Amino acid sequence: MNTNNNVYTVIYTTVICVLVAAILAFVSQSLKPMQQANEKAETISQILTAAKFSDKESLAQQSNQQIIETFKTELDHSALVNAEGKEVKRLGQDEVYSTSDLKAQNYKFADGSYEIPVYIFKNGTHVFPVYGAGLWGPIWGYIAVDKSLTHIVGAYFDHASETPGLGGKIKDDPAFRASFEGKELDLASNHSFEIVKGGAPAGRSNAIDAITGATMTSKGLDAAINDWVGAFKNYIKAAEEE
Amino acid sequence: MSKLKETVLNPIFKGNPITVLILGICSSLAVTVELKGACVMALSVTIVTAVSSLICSIIRKTIPNRVRIIVQLVVVALMVILVDQVLKAFAFAVSKQLSVYIGLIITNCIVMGRIEAFALGNKPIPSFLDGLANGLGYGLILIIVAFFRELLGSGTLFGIPVLSAIGYTNNGLMILPPMALILLGCVVWVQRSIDKTLQEK
C-alpha cells in the first residue's frame, strides 16, 4: 500500500487524532470525580495550614475524609461576602471555593459584583482567600487573621507554574510563609500589605521581605493580597465597628 | 533469544540513556530531590516509553512517512496525559510534587528517540521490551541520584529520617539542581571506570 499519498496521509492523521481525543475525553470524564475530591481536600488542607490547625506535611499523610472531618469540627461557618461587606449567603460545612471559583470571582472585582468566601473558625480565626497572577501563571493562597480581622496569624500560598527555587518559594519556603505571622493589615492605607523588594524597613508592621530572584512573583503576590484584602475591606471594617 | 536479552540489558548499563547517550538530563536534575518523586517519575517514564513504543511499533507499517514524527508525538502525548490524569486521581500528592515534570515527559528525548530509532523498525514485542528497558535504565540512574540527594540533603530516605536521626546537619547544596549534575557526573565516572570500553579516546 502506498502510505505516502496525500489523501491517505490526511485521512490517517484525522482518524488518529479523533481516536486519541475520544480516549482522552473518556478517561478525563471517568476520573473527574476522584480528581475533584482530591482538589477539594487539597484546598481544605491549605486553609487548615494557613489557620494553623495543622500543617501541610501532616495533612499530606491523612485521607481526604480525615481532612474534611477536621475542617468540619474546627469550622464555625463559611460565608460569601459581597462588596458592601455583608454576608450574603452561607456555604455548607464542607463547602469550599476551588481555585477556578476564586478566579471567576476575581474577574468581577472590576464592577464590584463579586461574592467571595470567608472561612470562620470556632476560635475566631478568619481565613481570606487571595488570587492573582504570578510570573508564569496563577498564584493563590489563604491568609488567616485572628478575631481583630487585621492581625495575621498564618498564611499559605500555592502556584500553578512559578519557577521552582525562586517564585516557587511562596509555596515551598516555610520561612517566607512564617514571615506573615504577627503582621498587620493596614486598612487605612490603599496598600494595606506590602511585599518589599530589597527588604522591609524595620518596624513596619504591614510589610515583609520579597523573595530574592523572584521580583515578579513577589509583585504578583503583593497585588493579589491587596486586591483581595481590598475586596474584603468593608467586611473587615463592619466587623471592627461591631 | 540472545538478541532479545541484549535489547533488554543493553539500555540498563552499556547503553544507558542518561549516562551513555546523555538523554533526559533535564528531568533527572529536576525530580531527584526525593526518592519518592524519583520512583514515580521512573515508573511513569517507563510506562510511557514502553507502551508508546509498543503502539508505534504495531502501527509502524501504516504510518505515512512524511508525518511520522507527528504521529509519534500524538501517541506519546496520549500516554503522558493518561499517566498525568491517573496520578491526579490516585496519587494527588505525588502529582502535585512532580507538577509540570509529568507533562514534560513528552519532551524527554528518550521516548521519541527510542520510537524513532527502534520501534519504527522492529516488531512490537522487542519494541515494547526496548522501551521498558530504556525506561528502567533511566529510572535506575534517577533513583541512584535521588538516593544520595535525599540522604545527604534532607537526611531522610522515602521521608523516613535516617541521617537526621543521628544528628546529621543537612547539606543544602544537595537539594539544588547543580548538585544533581555533579552527582550525575560521578555516576558517569564510576560507570566508565567499571567498563573501560565506554571511555572516549
A165 vs A181: which has the higher pLDDT: A181
Closest Cα of chain B to A157: distance in Å?
14
End-to-end Cα spacing for chain B = 33
Closest Cα of chain B to A35: distance in Å?
5
Angle of helix B109-117 relative to helix B68-90, nearest 10 degrees, comes to: 140
Which of these ranges, B40-44, B101-105, B134-138, has the smallest mean pLDDT?
B101-105
Q: Which of A16, A42, A98 to mutate to test the interface with B (most CBs of B within 10 A)?
A: A16
A196 pLDDT higher than 80: yes
Residue A7 counted as domain residue: no
Report the C-alpha gap between A182 and A21 in whole angstroms: 51
B56 pLDDT higher than 70: yes
* Band of pLDDT at residue B57, cut at 50, 70 and 90: very high
Put simply, whether A27 touches B (Cβ < 8 Å) is yes
Residue A88 counted as domain residue: yes
User: Per DSSP, what are the bridge partners of residue B59?
Assistant: none
User: What's the pLDDT score for residue A176?
Assistant: 92
ipTM of the complex: 0.77
Helix, strand, coil percentages in chain B from 3-state DSSP, rounded to 5:
75, 0, 25
DSSP letter assigned to residue A80: E
Residue A117 counted as domain residue: yes
Picking from A111, A109, A84, the residue whose alpha carbon sits closest to that of residue A223 is A109
User: What's the pLDDT score for residue A210?
Assistant: 93
E strand or H helix that includes residue A152:
strand A152-159
Residue A93 counted as domain residue: yes
Please state, for a pLDDT cut of 70, what percent of chain A lies above it: 100
A65 pLDDT higher than 70: yes
Report the pLDDT averaged over residues A56-83. Answer: 88
Instruction: Show residues of chain A in contact with B71, CB under 8 Å.
Output: 12-13, 16
A181 pLDDT higher than 80: yes
Put simply, whether A66 touches B (Cβ < 8 Å) is no
State chain B's maximal CA–CA distance in angstroms: 62
Report the pLDDT averaged over residues B162-175. Answer: 80
Picking from B166, B44, B63, B176, the residue whose alpha carbon sits closest to that of residue B119 is B63
Residue A66 counted as domain residue: no
User: What's the pLDDT score for residue B30?
Assistant: 80
Residue B63: closest CA among chain A residues belongs to which residue? Answer: A3
* Band of pLDDT at residue B1, cut at 50, 70 and 90: low
- Sequence-distant (≥ 6) Cβ neighbours of residue A193 within 8 angstroms: A183, A185, A186, A206, A207, A222, A225, A226, A229
A40 pLDDT higher than 60: yes
- No. of H helices and E strands in chain B? 10, 2
Residue A33 counted as domain residue: no
Residue A21 counted as domain residue: no
Report the C-alpha gap between B10 and A122 in whole angstroms: 62
Q: What DSSP letter does each residue of A99-137 carry, written as one string?
A: HHHHHHHHHTTTTT--EEEEEEETTS-EEEEEEEE-SSS
Put simply, whether A161 touches B (Cβ < 8 Å) is yes
Helix, strand, coil percentages in chain A from 3-state DSSP, rounded to 5:
45, 20, 35
Q: Domain tally for chain A?
A: 1
Q: What DSSP letter does each residue of B46-80 carry, written as one string?
A: HHHHHHHHHHHHHTTTTS-GGGHHHHHHHHHHHHH
E strand or H helix that includes residue A230:
helix A215-241
B164 pLDDT higher than 80: no
Q: For residue A164, what are the domain limits?
A: 76-241
Query: Which single residue is written with the C-alpha cell 521519541?
Result: B112
Residue A36: closest CA among chain B residues belongs to which residue? Answer: B89
Picking from A71, A83, A15, A18, the residue whose alpha carbon sits closest to that of residue A41 is A71
Residue B66: closest CA among chain A residues belongs to which residue? Answer: A4
DSSP letter assigned to residue A92: P
* Band of pLDDT at residue B52, cut at 50, 70 and 90: very high
Closest Cα of chain A to B91: distance in Å?
9
> Is the pTM of the predicted complex or chain greater than 0.80?
no
